[in-house]
Amino acid sequence: MSLPISTARLVLRPLRRTDLAAFLSYRSDPEVARYQSWEDISRAAATAFLRAQAKPSLSAPGVWQQIGIARVSTDQLIGDIGLLLREDGRSAEMGFTVAREHQGIGLAREALTGLFGVLLSRQTLERLDAVIDARNVRALRLVERLGFELRSSAEVLFKGAPCTEHTLTLSRAAWAASQAVAAHARGGRA
């Protein structure tokens, strides 16, 4: 799989050094970081991260890769998607982050739909997993609307506080069914 992937309003692409200001802005926002495994990030750490992720190999198993989410019209970075293709090549885990000012207008859904369409067209990939804090209601609702189903829950400590983490799964078959329903709702337009 290669980048870029274009949707109506977005382009999924490699992160770039020129994304530093936008990346620092949303990765330093405590509300955005609340349910993420990372905290505030220094300029030096952000620069090193962007440099390391500049050429993601989305077919490389066992390594987390970050995919930039940018507006088509401006190429402004508004978030990123983390993707881990597991060693077996049949499953992957993903997570996503969108800057607060770009939330609530369907951009995360659009980005994930674009990525999933490409990922799940691979004949070997059978499922995608997402691990989401139960308190992150908006993210849970989004992945459920995309066809993910609850697979398991676990009580864990996250950032020093007890919480419940849900593991949700989207199978290739469920994705295909959800896309057929969406196409029918649009009047048969794919």
Q: Which amino acid is present at 37?
A: S
Domains of the chain: 5-185 (3.40.630.30)
What was the pLDDT predicted at 54? 84
For 28-76, the pLDDT digits (tens) are 999 999 999 888 889 999 999 999 998 877 778 899 999 999 999 999 9
For 2-25, the pLDDT digits (tens) are 899 999 999 999 999 999 999 999
| Share above pLDDT 70 across residues of the chain, in percent, rounded to a whole number | 98
Both tokens assigned to 141: 């609702």
CA 128 to each of CA 28, 82, 86, 144, 177: distance values in angstroms, whole numbers, following the listed order: 28, 12, 10, 13, 15
d(CA 150, CA 131): 10
Show Cβ contacts of residue 121 under 8 Å, excluding neighbours closer than 6 positions: none
